Amino acid sequence: MKKFLFLFSSVIFLLTGCGEDKGYYLSGDVKGVDNGTKIYISELDGKTRSPKAVDTAVVQDEKFELDMEEMDLPALSFLRIEGVNGNLVFIAENEKLKFSINKDSIRSSRVSGGQENEALYEYLDHMKEMNRKIGKMQKEARTAMIQKDTAKLKSIQATETELKDNDRKAKEEIFSRNTDTFLAVTLLADMLSSKSHSSKEVRDMFSEVSDRIKQTDMAKDLKSELEKMKNAEMGSKAPDFEAPTPDGEMLALSDRMGQVTVVDFWAAWCKPCRIENPNLVNTYNKYKDQGLNIISVSLDRPGQKDRWVQAIKDDKLEQWDHVSNLQFWQDPVARLYGITAIPATYILDKDGIIVAKNLRGDALAEKIGELLN
């Protein structure tokens, strides 16, 4: 549920190349790959935002090498082995980069050489350890829930808070040492996507990125997203919008303002959104007579209006207004608000000022009750 900018936090692993006086030079060991197998190198195209083939190498004696042209700027790149599923992601740079690849274990592949990829690996290793700890914690939480061990669950919640705090600090520390690398931008994008940091915090950190890295397409995209989010930050007046209802009529936010208004971004295909919907219904039923209004903005896909309408019915959301341009992540309203993940909620006071964001469950109900009372 993320757009390209925030793909990097879920990326699997990487490869590389090596550079001589000019350009960069890729070489590597590819265990278990037959002679004559092709190695395809692609870079992310700045205009289409999709991989674009740039060169090909041929495996000989389980090895390959490729002398590439000099890079003006580091670039997000991909290595694909003919007949093998998946891509290896790396950062192209003017260095000698060495790949160690096992076609049967892409996740265990490694790359050495070059400041960019060394920084990238440090971050990916951190994320790998974080995921291990989170997986262990989730397993313990499931056991505690089955056993109805409330003391254990409370302890796990405290551990989760500590883990998130440590993750936040680690990301900041890694960023501070790598402001002149491509990782700086991908790390900031991950902070924004995972909501470990606010858009204002990420924008402040972005100012520390070197002018060289700010010239990359990914940095330009991130800057654009941050500017959009600036319009929908806490304390700002919520951007007005107009979009089609299920009946095809145009509805504007300004037409449906209440004493408190919730702008809810969701989609029929979004499982976390559907899980949260009962909480939203309960909150609405509790406070609708006191002036609460909701307008839900769906990020459903083109041609899937029926799924959107059915989800409204199934989740009993017919009580309030719904709009959608059915343009998935390209929805104009979502882009206006800088939405990069859903569910996402904006709570507005009677003047349309954003007073809270992304609250769910009891926290959402408590905040609305506080505002209305």
Helices 150-176 and 182-194: crossing angle in degrees, nearest 10, is: 150
Does residue 13 have a pLDDT over 60?
no
- pLDDT, tens digit, 9 for 90 and up, residues 274-323: 999 999 999 999 999 999 999 999 999 999 999 999 999 999 999 999 99
Q: Residue 271: pLDDT band by 50, 70, 90 thresholds?
A: very high
Query: Tens of pLDDT along 145-183?
Result: 899 888 988 898 888 889 989 999 999 999 999 999 999
* pLDDT value for 9: 40
**What mean pLDDT do residues 41-58 have?**
83
pLDDT at 105: 77
In order of start, what are the domains of the chain with their CATH numbers? 4-111 (2.60.40.10), 117-230 (no CATH), 242-372 (3.40.30.10)
Which positions ≥6 away from 149 have C-beta within 8 Å?
143
Place of tokens 């919730």: 262
Question: CB neighbours of 37 closer than 8 A, spacing ≥ 6?
Answer: 30, 58, 59, 81, 82, 83
Residue 44 pLDDT exceeds 90? no
Condensed to tens digits (0 to 9), the pLDDT of residues 95-124 reads 999 999 888 877 778 888 888 999 988 998
What is the reported pLDDT for 47?
67
Q: Which residues pair with 56 in a beta bridge?
A: 40
Whole-number mean pLDDT of the chain?
88
Q: Which distant-in-sequence residues (6+ apart) come within 8 Å of 166 by Cβ? A: none
Distances (CA, A) of 239 to 190, 292, 351: 25, 19, 12
Using one digit for the tens of pLDDT, what is the confidence trace for 202-252?
999 999 999 999 999 889 989 988 887 787 888 889 999 999 999 999 999
- Residue 170 pLDDT: 94
Q: How far is CA 224 from CA 46, 235, 321, 336, in A?
A: 14, 20, 30, 11
102-111, 138-147, 325-334: range with lowest mean pLDDT? 102-111
Q: What is the pLDDT of residue 3?
A: 42
Q: What is the pLDDT of residue 18?
A: 34
pLDDT over 50 at 7, yes or no: no
* Residue 294 pLDDT: 97
